[in-house]
Amino acid sequence: MKLSFLKKEKKVTGLEMKPEELQLGDIIAPASVEIKQNYLRLGERFCKTFFVFSYPRYLSTGWLSPAINLSHPIDISLHIHPINSGQILRKLRRKLTEIQAEVMNRQDKGLIRDPTLETAYQDIESLRDDLQTARERVFRLGLYITIYGDDQTELRRIETTLRSIFESRLIYIKPVLFREKEGFVSSAPYGLDQILVHTPMNTAPLSSIFPFVSPDLSANEGILYGLNQHNNSLVLFDRFTLENANSVIFAKSGAGKSYFCKLEILRYLMQNIGVIIIDPENEYEFLADAVGGSFFKISLTSPTHINPFDLPLPGEDEKPEDVLRTNTINLVGLLRIMLGGLTPAEDGIIDRALTETYAARDITPNSAPATWGEKIPLMSDLETVLAGMEGTESLVQRLRKFTTGSYAGFFNQPSNISMDKRLVVFGIRDMEDELRPMAMFIILRYIWNIIRAELKKRILLVDEAWWIMQTEDGASFLFGICKRARKYWLGVSTITQDVSDFMKSEYGKPIITNSSLQFLMKQSPASIDVVQRTFNLTDEEKYLLLECAVGEGIFLAGTKRVALKVVASYAEDQIITTSPEEVLKARRAKKRLKAE
């Protein structure tokens, strides 16, 4: 009954509007337009238009970019009208005659020379030559700028800023008094020039007005990395579209590198891309819990074990003997780290002992690779083989602390982990400092075997990579992964605090050059010169890295580089925050939930 009454009332008033009567202009037009002599009022907003009426003799490339990148709403319209070259040449000839006559007249009167006339003469002659040879053309340029504000005070403030930008370059602007409507229309995308205030300009200076001078990193696919501080555009792209998907992140402690990495991981996980992390400080444990990933604590007393002798299954294009040979070479490098170095003689003994250790378990180039997983030897098997060889007493004694000594709990156990989750984190915070390079090497070898076994899009993040870069064999293995990652659809992210420590290794520079993506955040004054030389930074970029805020830096993707500000939503921030205060709150909330 009530519905019927409303329908009847609506019909009586006759206020309803048929859909076909509703025009696009009714939707986008302001509620009112008020035209004043020096501004327009569009609804609740004010706007004011200016034109450029004077230019200096020389214009530098990109001189308009400070106005384009102004942090205020602004419309800039360029109206370029070509002029017939023959008409211009006739005018220049007449002007040249006038100048020459003036110069001769001054000479006859005995007056000193006028540099202004001589400069004008030279410029006209040069332009005539360029026009005659078709190297230049002449155009009429109309440049109009419309600014917007909430009130007239804001308009005056923006006008002052705009004038200071232009006048510092000897460029002058005027408001379009009593023609604000025409000015607004001329700066709108109608292609109409109703102001008709033009300046003749030839091709060379006209090209300096090209507005798109800020680098842009926006694509139709990928993830949001942050805001381009040059022009406030979105930095949106997919690292897997580059020549390789590797990245390096350098920043001093507290600059926000872990926050950036967590944000990147979270967004790539939403695109169903797998992520594997080596975490020296257990920073990624909360993230793994939040997204349903796996977190493995690696230590001498942990129930989680990785066997250094694990073997990958040969791929379709790989031979069993090649897999065994590569694995043996890598194990020699690991044992070189574990045993504190090897002499050339010991190196050969270890190589032969490893081959015999696998052969004792019937793992040879002639055996079926499908049966290898059931027969993987342990570190104690290597000790047994070494004990039966001559001249190995020193090797056996050094190896025993890893087989029966205090380190046996980690180094002499079969693997018991599963990497079936999209996010897998290996936390090594509780591992003793002297064992961290070894632990990272073993974890990297295990991860690399998994990656080679199945081809799919993944990211491997190595946090505090300087730990593994401390040894030549560890750095060499990390470089090998970075170099071969592209073939296995893998992107390696290498993170470290100090470029100087990273560059001490001979593999530091090659790892950087094999990474198409680089993010430099706030740097310390002690290392900034090394950063500048390594990444060929300008002085302006150098000072930016010294003064930038947390979460800001220089983002280099291929040949493009932008000043990036990392941004996250509130929900993302709650998951990835590294602030001790916020982390403590999250842990307390987690404990309360468990208690309930």
pLDDT for the residue 116: 77
pLDDT for the residue 370: 82
Mean pLDDT of 34-57: 88
Helices (H), 168-317: 180-187, 203-207, 257-269, 285-290
User: Is residue 55 classed as helix, strand or coil in its secondary structure?
Assistant: coil
Mean pLDDT of all residues belonging to the chain: 84
Evaluate if residue 303 carries a pLDDT over 70: yes
Q: How far apart are CA 148 and CA 424, in angstroms?
A: 50
Q: What is the pLDDT of residues 135-168, one digit of tens each?
A: 778 888 899 999 998 888 999 999 999 999 888 8
3-state secondary structure 481-539: HHHHHHHHCEEEEEEECCHHHHHCCCCHHHHHHCCCEEEEECCCCCCHHHHHHHHCCCH
- Say if residues 342 and 316 touch (Cβ distance below 8 Å): no
Mean pLDDT of 47-54: 91
Q: What is the pLDDT of residues 190-240, one digit of tens each?
A: 888 889 899 888 887 888 887 666 566 777 788 999 988 877 778 888 899
- Say if residues 298 and 288 touch (Cβ distance below 8 Å): no
- Name the one residue in this structure whose structure tokens are 């594997």: 276
Q: How far apart are CA 530 and CA 504, in angstroms?
A: 11
The identity of residue 29, as a single letter, is: A
pLDDT band at 353 (very low <50, low <70, confident <90, very high): very high
pLDDT for the residue 38: 87
pLDDT band at 21 (very low <50, low <70, confident <90, very high): low
State percent of the chain over pLDDT 70: 92
Mean pLDDT of 329-345: 89
Q: How far apart are CA 161 and CA 547, in angstroms?
A: 23
- Name the one residue in this structure whose structure tokens are 């006859």: 108
pLDDT for the residue 357: 92
- The structure tokens listed for 242 are 């580059």
- Say if residues 196 and 203 touch (Cβ distance below 8 Å): no
pLDDT for the residue 22: 60
CA dihedral 316, 321, 324, 329 (to 10 degrees): -120
The identity of residue 238, as a single letter, is: D
Evaluate if residue 2 carries a pLDDT over 50: no
Q: How far apart are CA 244 and CA 453, in angstroms?
A: 20
More confident residue, 131 or 306: 306
pLDDT band at 74 (very low <50, low <70, confident <90, very high): confident
| 3-state DSSP helix/strand/coil % of the chain, to nearest 5 | 45, 15, 35
Evaluate if residue 6 carries a pLDDT over 70: no
> What is 307-414's CATH number?
1.10.8.730
Tell me the CA end-to-end span of the chain in Å, nearest whole number. Answer: 51
Q: How far apart are CA 515 and CA 523, in angstroms?
A: 20
Q: Spell out the domain ranges in the chain.
A: 31-80+138-213, 84-136, 218-304+418-596, 307-414
DSSP 355-409: HHHHHHTT-STTS-GGGGGGS---HHHHHHHHHTSTT-HHHHHHHHHHHTSTTHH
pLDDT band at 15 (very low <50, low <70, confident <90, very high): very low
- The structure tokens listed for 508 are 């530091």
Mean pLDDT of 283-290: 89
- Say if residues 442 and 452 touch (Cβ distance below 8 Å): no
pLDDT for the residue 1: 34
- Fold classification of 218-304+418-596 (topology level): Rossmann fold (3.40.50)
Q: What is the pLDDT of residues 454-466, one digit of tens each?
A: 888 999 999 888 8
Pick from 58-72, 255-269, 413-427, 511-525: least confident: 58-72
Evaluate if residue 69 carries a pLDDT over 60: yes
